[in-house]
A and B are shown apart, each in its own frame.
Chain A
């Protein structure tokens, strides 16, 4: 079928511009929409079309949403009158160089079921608003895919950016390939390839990307959704707990721990297995035993209370692991010096055997970090003396660039990571342990009376993230939400409110949303708002 025999709804009967093929391209500034437009025009002209393209360049093209528009007509008798911008309901082909831009095309009415073929790359280029959220602010790809599928006559979509990256080319080439492969333009493949060849730059890579995308689009009917959609990967159920390598003594201890995980309620087992690995990797098997102690207590309390779903245990398995594997300097150093990490960095740099990589770490320790790795009494002594603490801070507070590919800086970090074996005696550990213990006890105590509140209490741990100021801010918000949780205890909607407070705490950096939510809670608790805020 050529694109010109439309299903002929009544509006197309009278439309005298029906012989004109209308193509809109929506892209993010910098993606090469202009190149793609030029290619399409060139290929159209080579095929005997009269073609016109327009765009609105300028500052709008600096990383913003931008649109290009092409009209073409086969063998006109004389000069046709083409429009300079796409009109809703009057577009035959929309090429979207990114998933949300496909969504934008739909919301602008450029994609209509009667006639529009939508060709979209499903990869995401995140907008600033999505990235700056404290939690996960990303737009829902699923909603856009559904909307696009509904709005388009035909929806050709796959990750065209990946094809471009894999072929060492640019997305404009894979978009052209998808457009050509979809067969929606009556222009032969060879003509498109001729256009690319004539363009003269990066020709081979462009042709590879073109061919790969062409094949995908040509093969594509309606793709099997799950594997194609850019949804976050569903965490996979691990069939077997991994068998670690290492000294036999440690492996025996590990096997004992795994046996304890197997004895946990089925719902919590997967998460507990992963959590166990995390805390043992962080410290040692004894630390893993401490982790499992808490989970077993939670499971027991839930069993006693008749909560067969074991939601608290499952949540605790996740959040306690994160709490126990806190981000101290030892952990950071440990991560930075591992061989697997070196391999990852080399892959990121696309290094081959003949090249070298230099790795520079950006570190900025302060007095808190220094005290944290001191034996508890000494660290606490300094912490208790603000003048001394400030003096120390001034001495150490500066950015440090550490070249971990060089031996001595590496060795420094290596020694630091070796402090692991003494970690239990260090100040930071004392702080962290006290904190997670009181939080765990609080959640465990709630199990018999308010299971939902216990779950939400456990989940509040998500608020504690980051390092230094970020960490302190998270901690302060955690404390405030926990205090409100205590105040709300006994109410039927306590869990729901704690959830809302937690979401408010993640809503903005300034803390306004949390302040507002806390005021709301106070308003119905008929209490004075607290004076001090974090």
Chain B
């Protein structure tokens, strides 16, 4: 079960023609797929596209009604490969994943797909994880489109434009026999807006129909000599066909006055940011009516020479607003102007930042700089010659006072004790070469753990330790999540280690879900999933591929055991890779599962036990050693109203879920006896109550007896 349920929202996917759809960008794209008569959908989760996968999973009934096949692919490569169904069959298919990391993984299949070309429309929806909030390397998907000649749509970030892009994407794909990539930026995925819906369409040919009537055409298969023909075909037929479709259907848009000295060329995805800059400069109204001509590239690839040169006609200069680097679009336009010997000056990077996200401030500054140089008369006086900042700059002293807040493990996360144990083992055996992977467990690189030196890709943690495979004084360690394990890790990392007789240690963090991407189920999930096959133990897979030393830990919170197993893995005489599988359910998902059950039990008057941890503040000495082995948001600090104490003491707040890490760490690291666990038993049974009251009476008697013999201080909080 995913972290977020769209059960309510997916009902909007049933809206018919003329009705108004309200919701998130991703949901709108899903609706557009159904309106387009898509025959099969799939993909792999990852921000900012995770919700699309969640929506599809929650929309299985609707998909089933329409005869649409839904596949939760094992990886982006599997997803892209699935588009093969559109090669010989006139079936529309769409897959979604995050980019550029997902596109990296998918690129083998994408290149093969693009070479042979498609018959049915093939749409790849890529969620661009770029700029603020991104968790990956900052690169562009644009390069993938160019290298394989896949058309790249970059629609304006509003719901009607994104929906249109889906409809046109399929049609363009079919008109040019080329797969199409639809790029949606991180904020556009989650933008809340509205559009007018159309009726959903059943696929004219379904995948079932195709199976009853199999087809093959040898000239579509990537093998010489067909592969050489494909290359020629891309240039001679598919490209011109695409250009024709794009021009005839006006996929790119021109706004503003027909005649002007200067103009702006922008990626569709940049439109709102550019218009806001124009609005603030007084050059566009709130509805986007611009005083400066805009050429909006809803198709970022291929670029269309005639359109661009027409736009430049009569203009002294145009500014290309192209986010990210290298500046492929700017370079291409520069070449066009040069080849056509046009006098228009091309400006781009320079006034605009060479690299990095094009934020509102960056675009406004770049635009003002461009206009100051080329059309100062269009600017209001204070922008033409700014002589003072409009607002005082942010106080720098404050910047130093505000602590950074990078993401980290959630309250009660079962991965925290794994790294606490690792830290304790390193305290004993010394520092090790440790490789990290992709997933929540990568938060180990941050304080307080600071474990892991590299991350080379999903499922590649152990593989990235390949060069250290055996022979050293200490073993190298790598971490790998269950998501990464099934995505790629089983073969690329574990198989690799077995085959190469690695002596290293692999720790597989198994939290029952693809947790970092929103808690989607995977092969080893413990949950029953009505349409997917789960409950395949990682340990079986690892043994199956040839690992002999495997240790399964079923409660990661048992820090002493966790530490002991890690210690053993690092010191055993056994040969071959040492695999530790550390399993406990993702706390976020566990709480989401258990809370409603608990509430129901309480309502029905049944017995409910809730654990919580606490700190005896008069036993805690304020050294914070526990924090350095935890970092749990619920374990925090508190100033005592006691002038005798200089340092704040540990304190556990109301968000504690009683996972046990605090107490276990205090025990394993022999920290202090301040932690206690309190289990609150609501609706206790009669016998239990009786025992409880007898205990309380005896204990109360002893407590009163003790206090009679000594001084008791009223004001003393102790």
Contact = CB atoms under 8 A, between A and B. Distances in A.
Contacts of B680: 349-351, 355-357
A385 interface: no
A80 B286 contact: yes
Contacts of A29: 407
Nearest to A411: B702
Given A128-B446, A336-B616, A407-B699, A17 B670 contact: no
A193 interface: no
B360 A87 contact: yes
B367 to A, nearest CB: 12
A320 to B, nearest CB: 10
Contacts of B60: none
A28 interface: yes
A60 B711 CA distance: 53
B647 A357 contact: no
Nearest to A245: B712
B402 A113 contact: no
B286 A358 contact: no
B268 to A, nearest CB: 13
A358 B679 contact: yes
A132 B286 contact: no
Contact of A130 (B185, B403, B560, B647): B403
B516 interface: yes
A188 B283 CA distance: 34
Contact of B637 (A63, A130, A335, A346): A130
A: contact size bracket = 35 or more
A129 B402 CA distance: 11
A47 interface: no
A359 to B, nearest CB: 5
B143 interface: no
Contacts of B645: 322
20 contacts: A56-B132, A82-B276, A83-B272, A83-B360, A103-B401, A132-B627, A134-B624, A136-B646, A165-B654, A277-B716, A336-B673, A336-B676, A345-B676, A346-B678, A348-B678, A357-B678, A360-B678, A407-B699, A410-B695, A462-B646
A355 B712 contact: no
A16 B280 contact: yes
B667 interface: yes
A131 B619 contact: no
Contact of A131 (B394, B631, B676, B703): B631
Contacts of B285: 16
Contacts of A250: 710-711
B361 interface: yes
B718 interface: yes
Given A87-B364, A281-B716, A407-B695, A65 B405 contact: yes
Interface string A17-46: 101100000001110000000100100010
Interface in B65-79: none
B663 interface: yes
Given A30-B411, A285-B711, A366 B670 contact: yes
A370 B287 CA distance: 78
B157 interface: yes
A488 B68 CA distance: 82
B187 A55 contact: yes
A134 B627 CA distance: 10
A362 interface: yes
A362 B663 contact: yes
Contact of B636 (A16, A131, A336): A131
Nearest to A15: B280
B695 A406 contact: yes
A11 interface: yes
Contact of B286 (A76, A238, A345, A363): A76
A365 B507 CA distance: 31
A85 B287 contact: no
B276 to A, nearest CB: 4
A87 B361 CA distance: 6
A86 B360 contact: yes
Interface centre among B193, B282, B440 (most CB of A within 10 A): B193
Nearest to B696: A405
A530 interface: no
Nearest to A89: B391
B612 interface: yes
Given A60-B135, A60-B407, A16 B681 contact: no
A132 B631 CA distance: 8
B398 A114 contact: no
Contacts of B702: 337, 410-411, 414
B232 interface: no
Contact of A274 (B440, B644, B668, B688): B644
A86 to B, nearest CB: 7
Contact of A144 (B360, B398, B662, B704): B398
Contacts of B689: 356
B643 A235 contact: yes
Nearest to A80: B286
A497 B716 CA distance: 36
Given A45-B22, A66-B133, 13 more contacts: A56-B134, A58-B133, A76-B287, A81-B288, A84-B185, A85-B359, A132-B447, A147-B397, A270-B643, A281-B718, A399-B560, A411-B702, A465-B623
Closest 10 CB pairs of A and B: A58-B47, A56-B133, A87-B360, A64-B407, A14-B282, A399-B667, A232-B639, A362-B663, A147-B398, A235-B643
Contacts of A448: none
Interface stretch (A173-181, A434-442, A467-475, A518-526): A467-475
Contacts of A132: 447-448, 624, 627-628, 631
A364 B647 contact: no
Contacts of A107: 394-395, 398-399, 402
B287 to A, nearest CB: 6
Given A41-B192, A100-B403, A56 B135 contact: no
Contacts of B278: 16
A87 to B, nearest CB: 3
A265 interface: no
Interface string A274-304: 1101101100110000000000000000000
B177 interface: no
A135 B646 contact: yes
A104 interface: yes
B639 A233 contact: yes
Nearest to A250: B711
A346 B614 CA distance: 10
Given A132-B627, A233-B639, A246 B273 contact: no
B406 A64 contact: yes
A345 B680 CA distance: 10
B711 A245 contact: yes
A435 to B, nearest CB: 16
B190 A55 contact: yes
Given A338-B703, A362-B663, A79 B688 contact: no
A62 B440 contact: yes
A60 B48 CA distance: 11
A9 interface: yes
A484 B485 CA distance: 54
A278 to B, nearest CB: 6
